[in-house]
Structures are given as structure tokens and as C-alpha cells.
Amino acid sequence: MRVLYLGTPQFAVPTLAALLRSSHTVVGVVTQPDRARGRGHHVTFAPVKALALEHGLSVLQPERLRTPEVVAELRALNADIGVVAAYGKLLPQSVLDVPARGMINVHASLLPRWRGAAPIHRAVEAGDTTTGVTIMRVVLALDAGPMMRRVDMPIHSEVTSEQLEHALAEAGAELLVSTLDQIEAGVVTETAQDESLVTYASRLDRRDSQIDWSRSARDIHNQIRGMHPWPLTSVMWRGKRLILRRSAVAVATNSDVGDGLQPVGYVRMVSSDALHVQTGSGLLSITEVQLEGRRTQTIREFINGAHPAVGDRFEPVAIS
């Protein structure tokens, strides 16, 4: 089939690469306009655009999709079907109607759980033990279309959102191509989502980096994993912003469980491989950190250089 592809970030790259290896033909790529990225705010190509140009594909980067000129340009590509993977904008009906067989989406969750902008991060943050990829038909409502195929994937207790995203991107790419093969053969069935099971994955915000030490060690550990690689959880320590990059839940003892009397957010113990911080329930073991403006350090490097001590407090970071 002739495929119109819509995607922007790294998550969408494996799917485009898999399409280019498949029997189907990518007739055009729609991606977000070039933006300033990184510390220097230099304008760089998004990952999907870079791959598309490398393979000589036609690339469109409209600011607005619904203009008659853009819709006409898309129609001229004569696509049989559209494939969407983390494009970054809701598609108007005029664009959904362009391909003869409509649009399908590679969504990084087991729908109807975690519809929305940040399904991978919210699944990790919530402590989910299973996620996956759903191939669904795109409709006007957010991630609400009927499902075609799904693949499950476990979420291990130490994995970060970044690591999980890489795995889901590869799984989604394989699933997408085989789904296209089945659509072409006319053997795909579509199943409506159960609206009573819907949850939403809200867009990430800098406020997601704030830690509430009155929560349990397990909840905070999941937050640290979930907010990796952005916005990253952080605290104030001795007047400096300290990013908490890796953690673990300490093996609990009776003295570790918060009883309402022990102050939370304070370093209770310093060992060779972790800083153990009191939470509302249990100790959180911090194993990798980064002082703002410095490189990431193992906790051993941080202890040897900065000399944190029992009784130090990790204060909340003010977010404007």
C-alpha cells in the first residue's frame, strides 16, 4: 500500500524505518516544523525528518494541517492509508479523510488505559507492571478509535520511561507493519474500546519534577523512573538544585516506616552505594544524582566529593 506517515520524535523513528524495509511504499512524511532545541536553542531537524531526508522522502512541515492548501498537498500524494506515531497534534477530519483507508495510530499503551500525550511516563509513574502498544484507528476524539491489534510488555520495577520507550518503539514498529499486511489482506477486525476503563496520560510539566516526601518510598521511586529523561525529579540540597536520577526502595525495617513522628525528606543513613531518605512510608535509596550544571554521578562519587551527611534535608524545588 501507499503510506502517508505522520510522526516527529525518536519514538516514531523505528516505525518509519520498518515501513521503509517493508513491502509498502512511504509516499510522504508529515512532521512538526523545525524547532529550537537543546541548551544553545539551535534549530535542528526532528528525528523523523532526519531519517526521511536520508531516504529521499518528501517531507511536509505545516504549522496548521487544516488549511485547504495543506489538505490538497496531502491528497496529491494519493495515499492508500495514513500511519501516525507521536506526531504531536490532533488531526482534523479533513486530514483523516485524505487516505482512502483512513489513518491508524501506533499508541504506546494498552488502550483504553493511558490515552493522551504521555502514556509511557504516566504508566511508569503509576507503578504499572504491564504496558504495551495498541494499533488503533484514528478518530476525532483523543485516542478513542477502535483497536486493531495489541502487544503486551512487562514494566520492570527499575526501568525508566526512557528505556521503556525504546522497547515500545521497536515493538510498535513490528506490530504496525504486520497490521498493514493484514489490512491489505482484509483480515483485520476492529474492536471498540471500553469507555468505562479509560484513563488519561496528561502532558508532562515541570511541576512533575517536584517530590512530596510524605508519599511512600515506592511512589517516589516510580516518580523518579517516570520523569526520566524529562523533566527529571529534583530537590534543593545545601542551596543547590540536585537532580535525583536513580533510586531504589530500601528493604524495610520497623524503624523505616513513617509513623507521623519521623521527619520526611531527611537523610537517615549514608552508605557506600546510596543515600537513604525518610519518606512517608519507608526509606528511599538514592543511587545516582546530578548537581545542576554538573555531570551525572554515582552516589559513591557524590559522597566522596560533596560529603552529604545524616540529617541533611532535601527541600522541595520551587517551580514558577
Same domain, 192 and 264: no
Helix axes 47-54, 13-21, angle to 10 degrees: 20
Last residue of a domain, one of 186, 201, 216: 201
Same domain, 143 and 69: yes
Order across the sheet with 25-30: list the strands.
59-60, 25-30, 2-7, 81-85, 103-107, 130-137, 147-154
Average confidence (pLDDT) over 27-44: 82
The domain of 255 spans 206-306
Average confidence (pLDDT) over 75-94: 97
Same domain, 248 and 287: yes
Same domain, 166 and 251: no
CATH, residue 130:
3.40.50.170
Same domain, 229 and 196: no
Same domain, 196 and 211: no
Same domain, 181 and 210: no
Last residue of a domain, one of 201, 219, 235: 201
Tell me how far apart the alpha carbons of residues 106 and 139 are, in angstroms, rounded to a whole number.
Answer: 13
Same domain, 154 and 186: yes
Report pLDDT digits (tens) over 48-72.
999 999 999 999 999 999 999 999 9
User: What is the sign of the dihedral through the CA atoms of 177, 178, 184 and 188?
Assistant: negative
Instruction: Look at residue 233 and tell me if it is in a domain.
Output: yes
Of 91, 100, 94, residue with least CA distance to 71: 94
Last residue of a domain, one of 175, 201, 227: 201
Gyration radius of the chain over CA positions: 23
Residue the block writes with cell 489490512: 183
Same domain, 105 and 236: no
Q: How far, CA to CA in Å, does 276 sit from each of 35, 134, 312? A: 40, 39, 11
Nine cell digits for residue 267: 537523610
Provide the percentage of residues in the chain whose pLDDT is more than 90.
91
pLDDT band for 234, please (50, 70, 90 cuts): very high
Please determine, for residue 237, whether its predicted confidence score (pLDDT) is greater than 70: yes
Same domain, 147 and 246: no
Instruction: Look at residue 320 and tell me if it is in a domain.
Output: no
Same domain, 175 and 246: no
Report pLDDT digits (tens) over 240-297.
999 999 999 997 554 544 455 579 999 999 999 999 999 999 999 999 999 999 999 9
Instruction: Look at residue 319 and tell me if it is in a domain.
Output: no
Indicate the number of domains in the chain: 2
Instruction: Look at residue 234 and tell me if it is in a domain.
Output: yes
CATH, residue 229:
3.10.25.10
What pLDDT, on a 0 to 100 scale, did the predictor assign at position 319? 83
Same domain, 152 and 8: yes
